[in-house]
Structure 1
Amino acid sequence: MKVSRHMPHAPTGLRLLPPGGEIDAHHHDDHQIVYAARGVVSVATGEGRWIAPATQAIWIPAGTVHEHRAYGRTDLRLVGLPVTANPLGLDAPAVLAVEPLLRELIVEYTRERGTGAERARLLAVLLDRLRRSPRRPVHLPAPRDPRLAAVCAALHENPADPRGLARLGAEAGASERTLSRLFRAELHMTFPQWRTQLRLHHALILLAEDVPVTAVAHRCGWASASAFIDAFRRAFGDTPGRAKHG
Structure 2
Amino acid sequence: MDIANTTQHEPQGKGFIEDPHRPVLCHAAVYGSDRTVRVHRHPRAQLAWAESGVLRIHTDSGAWVVPPTHAVWIAPQLNHQVTTHTPASVRYLYVDASACRDLPEHCQVMEMTALLRALIRRIMGMDLSQPVAGAEGRLLQVALDEIGRLTPSPLYLPAGQDRRLQALMQVLTENPAETGRLDELARPCGASPRTMERLFRAETGMSFQQWRTRLRLLEAINRLGEGESSAAVAYSLGYRSSSAFVATFRRHFGKPPQSFIRESDTHERY
Does TM, normalized by the shorter one, top 0.5? yes
In the superposition, relative to structure 1, how do residues 28 and 165 fare at CA in structure 2: closer, same or farther (>3 Å)?
same
Q: CA deviation at 1:142?
A: 1.8
Partner of 2:22: none
Q: Of 159, 162, 172, which aligns to 2:179?
A: 162
Is 2:69–2:261's contact at 8 Å kept on the other side of the alignment? no
Q: What root-mean-square deviation, in Å, do the aligned CA atoms of Structure 1 and Structure 2 show?
A: 2.5
Q: Determine which of 108, 114, 119 is the counterpart of 1:105.
A: 119
Q: Secondary structure at the match of 1:79?
A: strand
Question: Corresponding residue for 2:30?
Answer: 16
Whole-Å separation in 2 of the counterparts to 1:113 and 1:148? 48
- Out of 38, 42, 49, the position equivalent to 1:35 is 49
* Corresponding letter in the other structure for 1:123: L
State the Cα distance separating 1:53 from its structure 2 match.
0.2
Partner Cα separation in structure 1 for residue 143 and residue 47 of structure 2 = 11
- CA drift of 1:236 comes to 4.2
Alignment-derived partner of residue 199 in structure 1? 216
Measure, in 2, the Cα distance between the counterparts of 1:123 and 1:40. 26
Shift of the 68–95 alpha-carbon distance from structure 1 to 2, 3 Å rule, reads: same
In structure 2, C-alpha distance between the alignment counterparts of 1:45 and 1:207, rounded to whole Å = 23
Q: What CA distance in whole angstroms lies between the structure 1 residues aligned with 2:261 and 2:139?
A: 29
Gaps of 5+ in 1: none
Identity value in percent? 33
Q: Which residue is equivalent to 1:46?
A: 60
* Distance verdict in 2 for CA 1:189–1:82, change over 3 Å: same
Aligned letter for 2:17?
H
Work out which of the residue numbers 160, 174, 178 in structure 2 matches 1:143. Answer: 160
Indicate the residue corresponding to 2:74 in structure 1: 60
Report if the CA contact (8 A) 1:13-1:112 is conserved: no
- Counterpart mapping for 1:64-213 below 5 A: 64-86=78-100, 89-113=103-127, 116-213=133-230
Q: Tell me the TM-score normalised to structure 1 length.
A: 0.89
Q: Secondary structure at the match of 1:214?
A: helix
Alpha-carbon contact 1:169-1:175 (below 8 Å) kept? yes
**Structure 1 SS opposite 2:191:** coil
2:231 is matched with 214
1:87 deviates by: 6.5
* CA deviations over 1:88-111 (Å, ceiling 9, x no partner): 542210111112222222232233
1:16-48 CA distance string (max 9 Å, x none): 111111222221111111111111001111111
Number of matched residues?
245
Contact in 2 for aligned 1:35/1:78 (Cα 8 Å): yes
Cα 1:129/1:237, change in 2 over 3 Å: farther
Unaligned runs of 5+ in 2: 19-24, 264-270
Residues 14 and 111 of structure 1 are in contact (CA less than 8 Å); yes or no, is this contact kept in structure 2?
no
SS of the residue 1:12 aligns to = strand
Structure with bigger gyration radius: 2
In the alignment, the residues of structure 2 paired with residue 83 and residue 237 of structure 1 have an alpha-carbon distance, to the nearest angstrom, of 34
Cα deviation for residue 86 of structure 1 reads: 3.1
SS of the counterpart of 2:83? strand
Cα 1:113–1:8 change in 2 (3 A) is: closer
Measure how far apart 1:69 and its partner are.
0.5
Distance 1:133 1:37 in 2: 17
Q: Return closer, same or farther for 1:179/1:225 CA change in 2, 3 Å cut-off.
A: same
Alpha-carbon separation, structure 1, partners of 2:105 and 2:29:
25
